Amino acid sequence: MEVKDIVSWTTMIDGYAKLGEYDVAKSFLDAVPRQETATWNALISAYDQNGKPQEALAIFRQLQFRKNANLDELTFVSTLSSCAQLGAMDVGESIHENIKKQRMKLNCHLTTSLIDMYSKCGNLEKALDVFHSVERRDVFVWSSMIAGLAMHGRGRAAIDLFFRMHEAKVKPNAVTFTNVLCACSH
pLDDT digits (tens, 9 = 90+) for 138-172: 999 999 999 999 999 999 999 999 999 999 999 99
Q: Inform me whether the pLDDT recorded for 67 exceeds 90.
A: no
The CA distance from 98 to 72, in Å, is: 10
* DSSP assignments along the chain, one per residue: --S--HHHHHHHHHHHHHTT-HHHHHHHHHH-SS--HHHHHHHHHHHHHTT-HHHHHHHHHHHHTSTT----HHHHHHHHHHHHHHT-HHHHHHHHHHHHHTT----HHHHHHHHHHHHHTT-HHHHHHHHHH-S---HHHHHHHHHHHHHTT-HHHHHHHHHHHHHTTPPP-HHHHHHHHHHHT-
The rounded distance, in Å, linking the Cα atoms of 126 and 117 is 10
- The contacts of residue 147 (CB under 8 Å, 6+ apart) are 116, 119, 158, 175, 179, 182
Do residues 109 and 142 lie in contact, with contact meaning Cβ atoms separated by under 8 Å? no
CA distance 161 to 155: 10
pTM: 0.91
pLDDT single digits (tens) 33-55: 888 898 999 999 999 999 999 99
Q: What is the mean pLDDT of residues 170-180?
A: 97
First to last CA, the chain: 58
Note the pLDDT tens digit of each residue in 78-119. Answer: 999 999 999 999 999 999 999 999 999 999 999 999 999 999
